[in-house]
Amino acid sequence: MSSTGRYIVAAATIAAVLWLALTSRDEERPVEGGVRVSSVLGDGDTAGFRLADPDYRLEFPADHGAHPDFRAEWWYFTGNLTAKDGRQFGFQYTIFRFALAADSAERISSWATRQIWMGHLALTDVAGERFHRAERFARGGEIGLSGASADPFRVWLDNWVMLSRDESFLPLQLSAQEHDFGLELVITDGVGPVLQGDQGYSAKGPGTGNASHYYSYTRLDAHGQIRIGNEYVRVAGQAWLDREWSTSALGPGVKGWDWFALQMDDGADLMFYRLRRVDGTPDVLSAGLLVNPDGSTTKLSPAETQIRPTRYWRSDETDIRYPVAWRMEIPGEALELNVEALLDAQEMDLSVRYWEGAVRISGSRRGGTIGGLGYLEMTGYEDD
């Protein structure tokens, strides 16, 4: 997810697919078996990997780049776009990095690597009631199929690219094309970086280090074009960037999460992730942040944030039932919101399944009506 270890979304992919598909050319380390999912999630030996440090203070532009000594990280864009004729679209564009091993010993082959990269791309056509999705994989290393640099900023996976357009981090160019859809967007300055958790240290489980480093750009202007089949559509709207890197996993008893990234029309932004335990209750480490229009922030705890589903949708493809409408109440902020999917069928049925899609919001804050748009991600509903 945006906040809590989105690398879990790809864990089974790495274990079942990437090791055999991408490491077989490593001449110095023949393939002997797959990578265990538990090791990717941090349940196994973390020796050699760095852990999140509560005393670390994020530095830019360096932290826009890769952190290969950590087990996993991601550059995660979501957003809502509108065409001149009023049509609405949502997009998700993410590039993940995973370390298969902590060993960084020099190898002879240029194909050798301990880093695997994965990309997810999705486009929601609200009026057309169509949801497009795609994923890609590549190895890191000297061959240059994927990688990241901080200054100048560039993250790439084949011809999927995120890069700065000049010497500063923003504006950014986002480019990704598949045979049936794609996007070319320019992302310009907005709100951020916003440090999540405690100065960018976001606790995910008990004990020091079982956490991630996490920051967001919660409101960025976006414009450019999207492609659906042979149709090119000029669009403009707002985007959200989440950046996170970690070695640890979720705490024991946590089954999944519900992550909200909401941009309200009064200029406030809200991020909240509910870590969902096996019994359905929120974990005590669920957390969030309200970014006020003046730039001030308010931390949100599970005790202060009441969230409950109000409507469900069942996938025809996987038979998984997801809550696609929610009620959120934050009494301390006099904030009441209804959150509902713009399209129910926004399931990312890829190597690992999860639901991620565009949502609309409506409600009230301090006595006045409020609306807006955002994104919602949900995992761990397979057995519900």
240 falls within a domain: yes
Where are the extended beta strands (E) located within 127-203? Answer: 130-139, 146-150, 153-157, 160-164, 172-177, 181-191, 194-195, 201-203
322 falls within a domain: yes
Max Cα separation, the chain?
Answer: 66
1 falls within a domain: no
329 falls within a domain: yes
Collect all residues with Cβ–Cβ distance below 8 Å to 141 and sequence separation of at least 6: 110, 111, 112, 113, 115
Q: How confident is the model at residue 248 (pLDDT cuts 50, 70, 90)?
A: confident
pLDDT value for 45: 54
Q: What is the mean pLDDT of residues 270-281?
A: 93
Q: Is the pLDDT of residue 13 over 50?
A: no
pLDDT value for 107: 54
355 falls within a domain: yes
State how far the Cα of 80 lies from the Cα of 54, in Å rounded to an integer.
Answer: 33
98 falls within a domain: yes
pLDDT value for 44: 47
384 falls within a domain: no
Q: Is the pLDDT of residue 26 over 80?
A: no
383 falls within a domain: no
Q: What is the mean pLDDT of residues 57-82?
A: 96
**pLDDT tens-digit map of 126-146:** 999 999 999 999 987 666 789
DSSP 114: S
Look up the CATH number of the domain holding residue 136. 2.40.370.10
State how far the Cα of 72 lies from the Cα of 246, in Å rounded to an integer.
Answer: 6
Tally of structural domains, the chain: 1
**pLDDT tens-digit map of 101-126:** 776 555 555 555 678 999 999 999 99
Domain that holds residue 152: 6-378
Q: How confident is the model at residue 41 (pLDDT cuts 50, 70, 90)?
A: very low
